[in-house]
Chains A and B, each alone.
Chain A
Amino acid sequence: MRIAVCVKSVPDPDYYDQIIIDPVNKTLKRAGIPAVINASDKHAIEAALQLKEKHGGEITVISMGPPAVEQQLREALAMGADEAFLLSDRKVGGADTLATSYALSKVIEKTGPYDLILAGNESADGATSHVPSQIGEWLGMGSLCSALSVDMDGVNFIATKKFENGTAQFCLSSPCVIAVNQRINKVRLTNMMAILKAKKKPLTVLSAADLPDLDEQYIGLSGSPTQNGELHMVESTKSCTMLEGTEEETAAMIYDKIKQFIRE
Chain B
Amino acid sequence: MWWMNEERQMIVAAAKEFAEQEVAPAAKLMEEEEKYPREAIRKLGELGMLGLTIKEEYGGAGADYINYGLMIEEVSKVSHGFGLLAYLASELTLGLIEKMGTPEQVGELIKKGVSGEKLYGICFTEPCGVGNVAEYETNAVLDGDEWVINGGKILITNCGVADTYFVVAKTSEYDPATLRGLTYFVVPADTPGVKFGHIENKMGWHGSSTGQIYFDDVRIPKDAIIGEVDNAWLPLNVALLPMFATYGPMNLGSMEAVWEKTMFFLKNRIQQGVSLWDAHESIRIDMIEMWGKIDNYRSAVYSALEDENRGENISAKSIALKKEGADLLEYVSSKCIELHGGMGTVYETGIERFYRDAKMGTVGCGSNRTLMNNMVGVVF
The residues of A with any CB-CB pair to B shorter than 8 Å are: 36, 70-71, 74-75, 78, 189-196, 198-199
Contacts and interface: CB of A to CB of B under 8 A. Distances in A.
Contacts of A199: 6-7
A75 B47 contact: no
Nearest to A193: B48
SS class, residues of chain B in contact with chain A: helix
Which of A36, A70, A191, A196 has the most chain B CB atoms closer than 10 A to its own CB?
A196
A193 B14 CA distance: 11
26 contacts: A36-B13, A71-B10, A74-B10, A75-B13, A78-B10, A78-B14, A189-B21, A189-B22, A189-B43, A190-B10, A190-B13, A190-B47, A191-B47, A191-B48, A192-B61, A192-B67, A192-B71, A193-B48, A195-B7, A195-B10, A195-B11, A195-B14, A196-B7, A196-B62, A198-B7, A198-B10
Interface of B: 6-7, 9-11, 13-14, 17-18, 21-22, 43, 46-49, 52, 61-63, 67, 71
Given A74-B6, A75-B10, A192 B17 contact: no
B84 to A, nearest CB: 20
Nearest to A36: B13
A46 to B, nearest CB: 13
Which of A36, A74, A190 has the most chain B CB atoms closer than 10 A to its own CB?
A190
A250 B179 CA distance: 82
A36 B12 CA distance: 12
A133 to B, nearest CB: 30
A39 B63 CA distance: 28
B78 to A, nearest CB: 14
A190 B17 contact: yes
Which of B7, B21, B46 has the most chain A CB atoms closer than 10 A to its own CB?
B7
SS class, residues of chain A in contact with chain B: helix
B329 to A, nearest CB: 23
Contacts of B63: 192, 196
A71 B47 contact: no
A78 to B, nearest CB: 6
Contacts of B61: 192-193, 196
A78 B17 CA distance: 14
A189 B47 contact: yes
A217 B67 CA distance: 46
Contact of A71 (B6, B14, B43): B6
B67 to A, nearest CB: 8
Which of B10, B21, B22, B46 has the most chain A CB atoms closer than 10 A to its own CB?
B10
A189 B18 contact: yes
Contacts of A74: 6-7, 10
Contact of A190 (B14, B22, B43, B52): B14
Contacts of B47: 189-192
Contacts of A198: 7, 10
A36 B13 CA distance: 9
A195 B8 CA distance: 9
A45 to B, nearest CB: 14
